[in-house]
Amino acid sequence: MPPKPVTPRREAMGGLAKGLSVIKAFSRDHSALTLSEIAASARMPAATARRCLLTLEELGYITRRGRAFLLRPKVLELGAAYLESMDIDHLTKTHLEELARLTGDSAALSVLDGNDIVYVARTSVRTLVGLEAHVGSRFPAHVTSMGRVLLAGVSAEHLDQYFRTQKFQALTSQTVTEPKKLRQLIEECRRNGYSAVEDELAYGVVALAVPVFDSSGRAVAALNSSSHSRRISKASLVRQRLAMLRKASREISVELARVPGIALSAQT
């Protein structure tokens, strides 16, 4: 959920914010960028972008190839700090791997970040055609089972804000993009405690998700099991896996009680 507008603090470091904006300009489709492209993406003057790039290059986060700039592996340290602080590796090696073993498919844990979900843990025993998800992957919340579960857990005010700011783009012909219908699906998820989605994120991908709660009963993460629709239907996925997902969710919720990182950073 996008954060509420706040008055800039005098202590805030504008230079740090600009540097992070430069890093965020890079993506899978834009792995090598020129100075002008970075400045345009980060919405800053070229001179400012150049100073940020020179600083990041000196620190080892960015390198150059001709006129193009590229990220270096050191950038992974930024995300690793978040994952390590929550002991995500423990969750992956126990509950998620057990889910993957029992189902013969994929299991993942995600959190809400802005209007997207971000994978913070994932285990798979097979590759889903058309979907390459990994820790750090981001997807629009409205097209995923985990996203709808997480949206079902936010306040009415924040849900209204989400619908005001999100552009509901279709990723397949099956993607639900009509706001009224999406609200109905989110409300249905709130009542039932789960969400199932088929062919909306990518053709052939079917997934079932349930919420994961903190000690106060607040939904701070989502847990899913996904497969290929040729292997199992959405109805069968719910019938066969909902109970085991809820069991795993209860176990992970207990684990999260001692790891406040997700709870403190969850945007609800």
pLDDT in tens, 19-71: 888 988 988 778 899 999 999 999 999 999 999 999 999 898 899 888 899 98
* CA–CA separation, 95 and 85 (whole Å): 18
Q: Which residues contact 170 (CB under 8 A, 6 or more apart)?
A: 177
Q: What percent of the chain has pLDDT over 70?
A: 82
Q: What are the domain boundaries of the chain?
A: 14-75, 86-265
Chain segment 61-95, per-residue pLDDT in tens = 899 888 899 988 788 777 666 666 666 666 667 88
For position 158, what pLDDT does the model report?
Answer: 92
pLDDT of the residue at 126? 65
Indicate if the pLDDT at residue 4 is higher than 70: no
Whether 225 has a pLDDT exceeding 50, the answer reads: yes
Which pair of tokens denotes residue 197?
Answer: 């989605």
CATH classification code of 14-75: 1.10.10.10
What are the DSSP calls for 182-241, one per residue?
HHHHHHHHHHHT-EEEESSSSTTEEEEEEEEE-TTS-EEEEEEEEEETTTS-HHHHHHHH
* pLDDT (0 to 100) of residue 12: 58
Instruction: Check if the beta carbon of residue 217 is closer than 8 Å to that of residue 256.
Output: no
pLDDT score of 3: 46
User: Looking at per-residue confidence, does 27 or 172 come out higher?
Assistant: 172
Q: What token pair was written down for 49?
A: 């972008």
Domain 86-265 indexed as CATH 3.40.50.360:
no
Structure tokens at 155: 């306040």
The CA-based dihedral angle spanning residues 138, 78, 10, 38, taken in that order and rounded to the nearest 10 degrees: -60
Q: For position 2, what pLDDT does the model report? A: 47
Q: Which residue has the higher pLDDT, 77 or 110?
A: 110
Interval 9-22 mean pLDDT: 74
Give how far Cα 229 sits from Cα of 182, 184, 224, 234, 237, Å: 22, 24, 15, 7, 9
**For the ranges 119-133, 146-160, 206-220, which has the lowest average pLDDT?**
119-133
Lowest mean pLDDT among 14-18, 167-171, 194-198: 14-18
Does residue 133 surpass a pLDDT of 90? no
Retrieve residue 5's tokens: 């507008």
Res 10 pLDDT > 60: no
- Mean per-residue pLDDT over the chain, rounded: 85
The reported pLDDT for the residue numbered 146 is: 97
Q: Does residue 223 register a pLDDT over 50?
A: yes
Nearest Cα neighbor of 168 from 196, 148, 188 is: 148
Query: How much is the pLDDT for 89?
Result: 62
Model pLDDT, residue 268 = 43
Amino acid type, 97: E
Neighbours of 267 (CB within 10 A): 16
